[in-house]
Each structure stands twice: as structure tokens, then as C-alpha cells.
Structure 1
Amino acid sequence: MSDAFPQQQGVSGFVAKGSVGVTGRFVVAGPEDKGGGFDLLLGDRVILRHRVEAPAFRIAKGNPSVTMVRGNFRMEDAPSDERALRYMVLPQAAMTRIGWADGIAGNLDKGFVFLSDSPDGPPLLDLFFTLDMSLFNANGRDPSFDRISVDWVVEPNTMVWGGGEQMSHLALNGRNFPMWTSEPGVGREPGTALTDVMSADGSFAGGDFWTTNYPQPTMIFSGGHAVQIENSCYTELDLTSAGRATTRLWTGSADFALFVGRDVADLVGQLARDAGQRPALPDWTAGGAIVGLKDGGNSFERLEKIIAAGAAVAGLWCEDWVGIRQTSFGRRLFWDWQWNAARYPNLPERIAELKARGIRFLGYVNPYLAVDGPQYAEAEQLGYLALKQDSDEPFAVDFGEFGAGVVDFTNPAAAAWFAEEIIGKQMIDFGLDGWMADFGEYLPVDLRLHDGDPMEMHNRWPVLWAEVNHRAVASRGKTGEVVWFMRAGFTGVQAYCPLLWAGDQSVDFSRHDGIGTVITAALSSGLVGNAFSHSDVGGYTSLHGNIRTEELMMRWYELGAFSPVMRTHEGNRPDDNLQIDSTPDLLAGFVRWSRVHEALAPWIRHLRDEATTTGLPAQRALFLHYPDDRETFIIQDQYLYGAELMVAPVIEEGAVSRRVYLPGDSATVWRHVWSGEDRGPGWHVVVAPIGEPPVFYRPDTATAPLFASLKQVRDRQ
């Protein structure tokens, strides 16, 4: 039997979430399967295949071990009593109704399917398929079974993308990706000197290819469908076996949302809409670079020299506005979120003076409070901090040479207090027009929350943190005027956070932690509904003798200019590293590329509006516009900046040229911005000395004059 659920019984199929009219179907396998097979289809595409000899569902009892050291996690499990759920089991009435004497079917009246590990055994897992949202739930009947795994079909030649913000690999095929928000690590390549030395103390702080601030258990298939796990538990997306993608969840009940679209671009739009309407990116952020300085009162004098040199400046970002704490890691901040007058005298007047000139002031905040600060004492008195499991004392997280309390955002009163008293009064009312909303990954699993299990809340924590920021901005009527940016995330953060940044890259060209990873981060996060991403121009992490070179700074200028927001950072060890004003050449380079970024403001605003209407990100994987060109499927070191501009930053040390892929048909023309030379589709070796990153545009579009003007802007003295 291969019929879909009959219409008259109310389960003819379900419409996939946000779909374009393709109906999902549940198709029961024939009697040769001997007791329980079925297929789950979207249109004519089988996305899940369950057979007695090859079951798609398994359950087990978990035995986890979770270790955290300064935001770096080691997740281990030794599951027992694993059971393959091979058979469907149903009441005789349901079997008879569809013509089966030996019994394999679903409860057609209610959309239920029951699975067991034996033909005559009791049901162990209930599958419920909704009709309107294309959501299905897998619910275990025995609470001692707290592990569920599901195998999804990966057809030959199908590429799979997703996983949230990934920095090493855009395509998921062939690898296993744990979904757990954490510090990404330094180096992120075990076996290399920097990664190994960072992990030598047992902290596993070196990271790996899959460690990320922002995981999201979403898989996008090149055939035109997507699977999104709606749970926040620890999950693995395992694509190491040919023909299948295995999702393993540390839970006894799981929800899966299904999407189907005309192509991947349509899916990306659906995922963006499903996440919710994102806040707008303010106009002013496109009016030049945001200069990051953390030099106390001297920051203003340095900024004036940068402006006098001719730089286009939209904002001054001083993360040390709250004061500093010197540690062995470098110059860090004092985690008490209010103006430090000793470090920044007369700051309110300075902020007002800058704003009168069209330059905004930005600061810094994170969701933790230093135990030696006054805000910690206030939060403790109010009962707004997460507690130890075995006492009513606040839980202090080790952040490396100091401890901090966790403001418990599962307590509505605590979330409201932070939004109003900290961000609202101490930041927005004070005059800040933006900030870095840092961290969110560190929630330990061995503390006590006002509401919820820390194992389930850990991945949700960045979303709660984003909601607090969003709430504070909205309470002042500043949505679309204030910009704040996060590195941590999970499913749902898109509805609150207007801008991502790619985290704490090393100040180098390394494959898994250097400049190139910010491109992969922007492309991967864009696929799951995040419109705007950017990075610390110059990188951030400088340890064990790894310091910035002039070449790195110049190449990061080029990349930053073709990002929605261009923002510099002095890094964790500013005194050891080159800065944008360290030498005349570095300053001249910054001036040049800040002007280019400013010149692109009309295009950035167009991309912002396009993101609102279509859900497409500003920086796009090539296959979003060329879905039939398989050559584009694994390209992760160049991007379409909108549909009409191709950017291929130089991300290899010492390179003065690079290969660039230009997609299209025989009639397609791409024009090189700097030389005016036209090229057709295919691979090209493009000369790319410092100051001339490969950038191409479509000369047959209305925006061609804007792109053609960039050479003149770059060369203006």
C-alpha cells in the first residue's frame, strides 16, 4: 500500500511550514516490509524513510557528563539500552480500516503513529503529525528513555547547509556538528601549536571546527526543503554516513518543523519569516566606520586625528566606558554596567558633542555582573541571580581571574530589572546609541534557575539575552535607531537582534580562526534568517606571540568595507598590536576603506529593505541566486553582496592574486570594479594586490554607476 492518508479521514497530508503549496504526505510501505515501514514526503521528495530493516527512529537512556571551563564545554554521553524502533503498532480497528490484516499503519483519525521495538511490544514512541504547521512531535512514553535519534534522507548529490553560525565549514556534509553554544576556542584546529597550547591546561580552550557561539539545529537541503529542530537541548547534526543525516537529541520528546520551497533562497526567506520580524539596522551605521578605541579619555583625541586624516566615521565605540580590569589574558572590562567617570571624564558632554556632529557613541554590556561591583550586590539583594544547586547563595561563574553572577532571565522580574535599570537608564538614557551585547554562552548546567532546567535553557540563554536588549530599546522607542550586536545565538535570536558579529577571531590568516572565518560565519548565519553580520576589523585574540601584521590589517579593511557595518577593534592586547592609527600607512588605508564603506550606504540601505521583504541576508552564498550551479555549493570564501555585487576578499597571507568564481550563463557579464575589465562566467585568477580586493558588479543594472564610482572614492586624496 502506498496511498497517502485519505482525505475523508482528515489526514490527507500536512502543508509544510511556510510552504509554496507543496503538500506533505505520510506513505505507508507495502506488506513486503513485514510490519511497519513508511515514508515522509514533501511533494515527490522522500525526506524520511523508515523500514523494519532500516529504522529511522531510535531511543536510549542517557548517561551524560558535561564539563565547562570558562565557557568551553566538553559534552560526553554513554547511552544504554538503545532500541531501534522498527515496528508500527496500532489498534486492530485502525489496521482493518486501511485493509491490513497483519497490522502496519497509523492512527488515521488523529495523525498518530506508534513505534515499538518488537511486532507485539508496547508502543515506546508516539509520532504526531499536525495538519497545518507541518510540525511533527516524537514523544517517548517511558521517561527513562531520554535520547531520541532520527535519520533523514540525504539523496545522492544533495548538499546540506545550516547549523547556525559555522566558521569552518559552510556545507555540513561529511561531518558531525554538535549544537551547543560555547566559546569557539582559539585556533580551532587541534594539532596546531596555538590550539594545543590553549588546551594544554585541560580547559579545551583551543576549540574545534564545530565550536561556535551561535549553533542552530536547522538543516537546509539543496533539493529545496529544510528540517528544523524546535528543541533547545543538546543536539548533534551528524552527516558522516552516506545517504542520511542523523539528528541526535538529549531529550525524550522532540519537535521537528518542515519547510519546502521553490529553491534555497525561498527556504531562507521562510526561515527568516518563521523566526520573526527582525529589528531594523539604523541608517547612521552606513555613514562610515565605527571606530573602536579603548584608551579612556585619550580615545576622543585619537578619534579627532583619525577624522582629520579624512576618515568617514559613523560612531565611536569605547567598550571600556565601564572601566577596565587587567588580567593575564589582556585588558578586559570591569563588569558593572555604568559610566566609569575616572576612566572617561566628562563623558556625557563628549557624547553630546559627537552626536551634534553626526557621530554616535557606543558602549558595551553583557548579562553577567562582577562579584566585586555594586550592581551585583543590588541584584543579589533583589534575588535576581541564579543560585547554587545546594544552597540559596548566588552561583559565581569563573571568567578567568574573576567571578561573576548570572542574572536569571528566567525570572521575569530580573529580566525586566536588567532591561530597565541597566540598559534603559544606565545606557540608553545616558546617551549611548549602541553597544556590544557580549557573551550569552556561559550558562552553567549545575546551577539553579528561577524556572527551567539549565540543560534545556543553556542554548536558549542567548535568545533570552537578546530579548532583554530588544525590550530595553523598544521601551525607549529607539528600535531602528539604536544598534546592538551579539556573537551568541540560537533559534529565535533573529527576532530580537539586529546585527551579529563573528566573535573573537585570532589576529591572523589561520584557516579555522582567522580572517576568512568571518565570511563563512556571515554566509552560514544568513542562511538561517540573520540578515546582517560583521566582524572585528583587525581581529581580536592575540596570545602567545600571535600579533597583527600590517598586511592583515589592510586586508581586513578591505573586507570590512564590503560588510553591512564596518567596525574596528583594538583587541584583547591593544598595546602589543598594531592599531588603525599606529602608522601613517595604516591610517591612510583605514581612511580609504572607510570612505568606500560610506559610499556604499545607498546599497546597504537597499539590502536592509530587501531583507525586510524577502528575508535574504546582505552577504549571500552564491547558490542563493544560482541554485542550479553546483559549482557554487561549496564556495565559502566569497559572497554576493546583494544580487549585483560579487566580493572575494583576499584571506591568504602573502597572496597578491586569488581565484574567483563568477556565476551566470553565457550572456552574463561581470565588471571588475578597479580595472573596468569585463569577464564572463567561470573561474578566473584575479590580480589582487593590497588595496585592490577582487570585487565585480553587473554592469547591466541600475546600481552599476554606484559600483563604478568606488574606484574614484578609493583613490580620492
Structure 2
Amino acid sequence: MQLVEKKDGFEIWQGNRILLVHSPKNPCFYVGRGEETVEMYRGNFQMEDYLTEKIPLREAVKEETAQPGVCRYRFQDRLLVEIAVCGDTATLHISGQADAGNRLWIRINGEKEEAVYGCGEQMSYFNLRGRHFPLWSSEPGVGRDKSTYMTWRCDVENKSGGDYFNTNYPQPTYVSSRRYFLHADTTVYADFDFRHEAYHELSFWGIPGQIRIQEADDFLSLMEKVTAYFGRQPRLPEWIYRGAILGLQGGTKRVFDLVEQSLEKGIPVAGIWCQDWEGKRETSFGKRLQWEWRWDEKWYPGLPEKIAEYEKKGIRFLGYINPYLVKDTPLYREGKENGYFAVDGRGGDYLVDFGEFDCGVVDFTNPDAYEWFKGMIKKNLIDFGLSGWMADFGEYLPTDVSLFNGESAMVEHNHWPVLWAKCNYEALEETGKLSELVYFMRAGGTGSQRYCPLLWAGDQCVDFSIHDGLASVICAALSAAVMGNGLHHSDIGGYTSLYENVRTKEVFLRWAEMAAFTPVMRTHEGNRPDTNFQYYDDEDTMREFARLTRIHVALTPYLKDLVEENAVRGIPVQRPLFFHYENDPQTYQIQTEYLLGEDLLVAPVYLSGKDEWEAYLPEDAWVHLWSGREYRKGKIKVAAKMGEIPVFYRKASRYRTLFENIAGR
């Protein structure tokens, strides 16, 4: 990269292309003022901004600086920007002056054919070009498509329908097809707007301290730089490759009876995940958990003995936790007595409605509260014998709470999921369990890459809807991947069942065949287990699920190599096609296929009633996994009966024998 100084401005060049330009006629910075209105209802946020001022900063005066290689510009006594360009990186340090206001916009040069990805984990659109993306951690919404009945009804009844940009995991970072990434070092509300052909306009409800732009020669090298900056995920524990993690609940007898039935049907089982190990409550949404994080002896009698018994068989036990505590329980009272919860503006109790029950928010900015909760994870989960857990939520921090560190909750909100991830990470690190245990999260932000060993896609609908069903998981995995989250999975069959929408056998099996070609297979009974199809509901499904899980286990040598590459280089396990086929323009628009490593191309069947499926193959010699037929570049159609997801391997792959053996299972 190069910084070119002009008489009345400057330009930053990436090779022979302009990346950032400032002149009186073409300013790159704007400042202004706005008055926001924020409403939250059960993790769903309504954000509005009444803008009173937006001023282009046309005049940039260069000032002297003692730092070599740094140029300082003062923009109309409102902004002070120090620009450092060195090798592959340009860094802009931004300081607001007395009259800077509380809003900032920066314009980055765009190109007509450019594609843009990232902004955290996005579930509707992989290429973000042509849309804008508000970046605020929240519930992703149900349906997430304003044209559907499901989203309309959820909006009307619970303000929970969501939109295409709602996500548990936003991040003010994007990756360009021009082979650079841009990151804004801030946690304030932001909106990244990619609708303009000539530029990308990034807006912030505050002044970001730094903008970092870093380039690379190719996408794999770029991913190494992305993850070197944000951090890399640790390796998965060895036991996780032994089979599926069965999501079961309902008490000791029911759970372990179902495990035995699964083993009898030949299903390889790596783990048993019981989200209700701490007890349960009934709500209108469905069966919810008792949010007090310790073993419920009445619900799970004899659980410690069962955990030890099944660990000897090579099967681990996993639980559930989140960073809130339900009111009027012993742990809640302990936290309240010690001042460990966020409070209201007058220092009084602040309780959050999570759907017919109220909870206190553990204040992670209070070092004592942070250590208390981390200690609870060590004692009540790790010492108890859990081998992992769902570290749920993290996106609910209200904007009107008062925090121990004195920082505004508007600033801390997007940071909260990372603090939550770090708390779990340190509990494992300090007990020496990082290589042995695993937790999985849905919420995230800048820095989650290091502290979240396994991402999960959240609460999809139990259907084939494009914005909130099976297809959305593919998009989520790819967008998370370019942000440096290379280990991703989902609830097989989805989670959210509302109104007349229930999981069918077809949805479950199509989801399961895709999950076989991801890093981790895990089932979930969903929010309404009794009315939704489960893998154990008929013999045929158990037989087919056993086969798919055996295929997943057979991929272990390949998956382990990919997980190692993710840990060492930051190259994700599930990858967009253009990571390895950069010269193929069509690969930059594909969000319903992915590469599993370099050698497998997976094209999931994400619609109902299909026995044939069209896939796009980039230039290579590809072998259809199930038929052995060879294909070259282009759109092709293959048979796609249930259980034979369209998968292709590179003919030149060194894993070819492994793939050929899998095809015969």
C-alpha cells in the first residue's frame, strides 16, 4: 500500500487501485450529530436515529509529527487523523476534537464489480454488496423475511420477526474481493452501507479509535492475516470426532434410554448434550430451562455416576449455561448480595424479561463478578464432570443499565458477547482443559475468534425457508469463516417451532446429511420437542442417521487436518469457493455451496421435495461422491435422493482413497 500526498488532500493506493481518497470535492470523512432511540423486547432491538447534522469535512490541513512514516491531518478542527502506511497495512488513528459531534462517516472507494463479505455472521446474504448492514448484537429474529406470514406474525405478537441483517454476531469488519480486509476498532452501533457503486459508506454512533486496512496476494494469505490480528480458534478435543453429539433432555432415565437405543441402532455417539441438566420450566414459547447453573438432582438423579460410566465408553456429557441468573434462586441471591449484577440508573435492581421469567445480568466489567462467574463455571461445570456446554446468549445487554466500569452500555453492548466468551475460555485455560473440553456459542463480536472454540448458527426455523431455514446455515458458516471463525455447526433440523411450523422428517434428514460434512454433528430437540420430528421417532430415520454419522466419523483424518490448519493458519474448515478458485467470477456470488477444505465441494439440498439438484463446479476434475462420475466446470445436475447430498471430490486429492471408501458406506 502507498500513501500519496496531494496539495489539498491525500490518496491511499492498494497496488494500482485507489482505496481511500480525500479532496475538497471528494471528502472521505463526515461528522454530525444524532439522537438515538433504542427499544429492547426480549433481545430484539428497535434502533432509530434522528439525525440533526451531517457535515462533510472538506478541508484537511497537514500537521507536523515526530513519528516517522506517519502523516497527520486536521479536518476543520473536528477530527485529527494520523495515517500510517507500511507494507501491506494502512492504519488510520482517529481522534474526535471538541466539535466532532457523536456521529462519524467514512467513505472507502468501491468498484462496480467488487464483492464484499463479513460484517460478522450474516445469515441471509453472503455477498453484502447492494445492501446496508446495521451492526448490533441481537436476537436474529424468526423468519427474517418481511414478506412472509411467519415474520409478520412474530413482529405483531412479539416484535421478534427480525430482518435480513439481524444477527447474534455482528462485527465492524469486511473482506473485499479486492483481497483486503477493513476493520473498525469500535464497539458502538455501526451501519456498513454497500449500496453505492463508487464507495462504501461506514457510519458509527461515535468515533472509532482506529481503522485498519490490510491486504494480501490471495485469500488464504488474507485469512492468515485476519486471524493473526483477531486470534485463532483452538483445536477441537479428540473425543468429538467419535460421532454425533445427541441433544437429549427429560431426565436421567429418558436420556440414557435414548442413548442406548441410539447405540443399538449403530449410531456412533461422541457426546450427550443435555441442555436441561439444571432443570426446566414451562412457558408459552415451549419448555425453557431453569437458569441457575448447577446440577438438578431431582431432574437428573445419579447423573455423576452416569457421566463416569459413559465416559468409560468414550462418550462425553455436555450441559448448558448462559450469563444470566433467574431471580429468587440461591445463586441469584448470592450475586445480588455481592453487587455482581448490572443495575439501573439509581443503583437498584435491573431485571431482564427473557420470556415469562426475569433474570439478573452478571456485570462482567466488575472484576469480582467476572471471577465469581468464572469460578462457578470451574466448580459447577468442569469439576462436576461436564466435557462441554452451550454457552448461550450474550446479546441481551440492555442499553439503559449502569455498569461497574462506568462505560455506557451503548458502547459495551457489542462487546458483551466477547467478554462472555473470554470468561468461558479462561475457565478452561486456567484448569488446563482447553484441549479436552469444548463450549459452543451463538453470540460474538470482535475477538470472539480467539475465545470461541466452536460457533453455532443459533436458532433457525425448523424448515426450508431461505432466510431462516437450512439455507441460512450455509450462509452463516461462510460469512463467519471470512471473519476467522473456521469451526462452525448448527442444530440439526433447526430449533424454532412456532404456530403451525413444525420439523418434518425431510427437514431433519436433509439437515443431517449436510451436517455430516461439517466439523461437528449435533442434534437438538428444539423448543417444542413433543410436536417436532426427532431422529428417534422411526426406525428408518435412526438407520439413516447412523449411516450419515458413520460417514462423518470416516472423514476424521481429513477433518482433523482441516481443524489443525484452522488452528495454525486460520484457514476455515468450511470455505467459500473463491478461496481456491479466485479467477472464476461466478464463485464470488455462490452462498449455497461450500468447500470443505480444498478437496470436497458440498452443495446441500436446501429446498423441499427434490430428488435432483443443480450445482456449480469451478474448473477442476471433480468426482461425484456417490456415483463416481467425473465432471468439469459448469452447472450440472445430479441425483440427490435422501441421504446422498451432492458432494464432489477433487480427482487429484491426496485423500481420494478415503473419499472412495466413504462412498461405499
* Fold shared, TM-score > 0.5 on shorter chain: yes
Query: Cα offset for 1:295?
Result: 1.7
Which residue does 1:699 correspond to in 2?
A: 651
Matching residue within 427, 433, 442 for 2:396: 442
Matching residue within 84, 99, 109 for 1:130: 84
1:26 aligns to 2:3 (yes or no): yes
Deviations 1:479-523 (A, max 9, x none): 011010000000101111110000000000001000111111111
Counting only pairs closer than 5 Å after superposition, residues 418-433 of structure 1 correspond to structure 2 as: 418-420=373-375, 422-433=376-387
| 8 Å Cα contact 1:106/1:112 also seen in 2 | no
Counting only pairs closer than 5 Å after superposition, residues 75-86 of structure 1 correspond to structure 2 as: 75-86=47-58
SS at match of 1:611: helix
Query: Cα offset for 1:691?
Result: 1.4
| 8 Å Cα contact 2:145/2:151 also seen in 1 | yes
Which residue does 1:33 correspond to in 2?
A: none
User: For this pair of structures, how many residues does the alignment match?
Assistant: 661
Query: Cα offset for 1:110?
Result: 5.0
Which residue does 2:134 correspond to in 1?
A: 178
Structure 2 CA distance for aligned equivalents of residues 215 and 658 of structure 1: 32
Question: Kindly tell me: are residues 26 and 574 of structure 1, through their superposed partners in 2, closer, same or farther at Cα, counting changes over 3 Å?
Answer: same
Structure 2 CA distance for aligned equivalents of residues 458 and 620 of structure 1: 29
Structure 1 CA distance for aligned equivalents of residues 574 and 507 of structure 2: 21
Query: Cα offset for 1:144?
Result: 6.0
Question: What are the ranges of 5 or more consecutive residues in structure 1 without an aligned counterpart?
Answer: 1-23, 31-35, 95-104, 117-122
Counting only pairs closer than 5 Å after superposition, residues 141-156 of structure 1 correspond to structure 2 as: 141-142=97-98, 145-156=101-112
AA at the equivalent of 1:689 = K
AA at the equivalent of 2:386 = L
1:310 aligns to 2:266 (yes or no): yes
SS at match of 1:706: helix
Note the aligned Cα RMSD (angstroms).
Answer: 1.6
Which residue does 1:114 correspond to in 2?
A: 74
Structure 1 CA distance for aligned equivalents of residues 482 and 444 of structure 2: 14
SS at match of 1:378: helix
Query: Cα offset for 1:78?
Result: 1.1
Which residue does 2:607 correspond to in 1?
A: 652
Query: Cα offset for 1:701?
Result: 2.0
| 8 Å Cα contact 2:78/2:99 also seen in 1 | no
SS at match of 1:78: strand
Query: Cα offset for 1:52?
Result: 1.5
| 8 Å Cα contact 2:151/2:162 also seen in 1 | yes
Matching residue within 657, 660, 663 for 2:618: 663
Question: Kindly tell me: are residues 88 and 158 of structure 1, through their superposed partners in 2, closer, same or farther at Cα, counting changes over 3 Å?
Answer: same
Query: Cα offset for 1:546?
Result: 0.3
Bigger Rg, structure 1 or 2: 1
SS at match of 1:77: strand
Matching residue within 136, 140, 145 for 1:189: 145
1:708 aligns to 2:660 (yes or no): yes
1:39 aligns to 2:16 (yes or no): no
SS at match of 1:531: coil
AA at the equivalent of 1:684 = I
Which residue does 1:237 correspond to in 2?
A: 192
Structure 2 CA distance for aligned equivalents of residues 509 and 229 of structure 1: 35
Counting only pairs closer than 5 Å after superposition, residues 514-533 of structure 1 correspond to structure 2 as: 514-533=469-488
Which residue does 1:686 correspond to in 2?
A: 638
When the two structures are superposed, what TM-score results if normalisation uses the length of structure 2? 0.97
SS at match of 1:587: helix
Structure 1 CA distance for aligned equivalents of residues 338 and 90 of structure 2: 43
1:215 aligns to 2:175 (yes or no): no
SS at match of 1:40: strand
Deviations 1:528-587 (A, max 9, x none): 111100000011000011001111111011011111000000000001111110111221
| 8 Å Cα contact 1:90/1:106 also seen in 2 | no
Structure 1 CA distance for aligned equivalents of residues 378 and 495 of structure 2: 28
Structure 1 CA distance for aligned equivalents of residues 369 and 155 of structure 2: 35
Query: Cα offset for 1:204?
Result: 2.7
Which residue does 1:63 correspond to in 2?
A: 35
SS at match of 1:320: coil
When the two structures are superposed, what TM-score results if normalisation uses the length of structure 1? 0.90
Structure 2 CA distance for aligned equivalents of residues 312 and 143 of structure 1: 64
Q: Which moved more, 1:525-534 or 1:137-146?
A: 137-146
SS at match of 1:223: coil
Matching residue within 344, 347, 350 for 2:303: 347
1:89 aligns to 2:61 (yes or no): yes
AA at the equivalent of 1:454 = A
1:275 aligns to 2:227 (yes or no): no
Query: Cα offset for 1:267?
Result: 1.4
Which residue does 1:200 correspond to in 2?
A: 156
Query: Cα offset for 1:368?
Result: 0.4
| 8 Å Cα contact 1:52/1:86 also seen in 2 | yes
Give the % identical residues: 44
| 8 Å Cα contact 1:238/1:245 also seen in 2 | yes
Query: Cα offset for 1:625?
Result: 0.7
Structure 2 CA distance for aligned equivalents of residues 355 and 108 of structure 1: 59
Which residue does 1:609 correspond to in 2?
A: 564
Query: Cα offset for 1:107?
Result: 10
AA at the equivalent of 1:431 = G
Deviations 1:388-408 (A, max 9, x none): 112x22311110100000100
Structure 2 CA distance for aligned equivalents of residues 701 and 108 of structure 1: 49
Structure 2 CA distance for aligned equivalents of residues 591 and 295 of structure 1: 22
SS at match of 1:416: helix
Query: Cα offset for 1:211?
Result: 0.3
Deviations 1:127-158 (A, max 9, x none): 11235663212222126601000010112311
Structure 2 CA distance for aligned equivalents of residues 321 and 108 of structure 1: 59
Question: What are the ranges of 5 or more consecutive residues in structure 2 without an aligned counterpart?
Answer: none
AA at the equivalent of 1:45 = R
Structure 2 CA distance for aligned equivalents of residues 107 and 322 of structure 1: 57
SS at match of 2:126: coil
Question: Kindly tell me: are residues 135 and 286 of structure 1, through their superposed partners in 2, closer, same or farther at Cα, counting changes over 3 Å?
Answer: same
Question: Kindly tell me: are residues 431 and 46 of structure 1, through their superposed partners in 2, closer, same or farther at Cα, counting changes over 3 Å?
Answer: same
SS at match of 1:597: helix
Structure 2 CA distance for aligned equivalents of residues 51 and 156 of structure 1: 22
Q: Which moved more, 1:411-420 or 1:273-282?
A: 273-282
Structure 2 CA distance for aligned equivalents of residues 299 and 554 of structure 1: 21
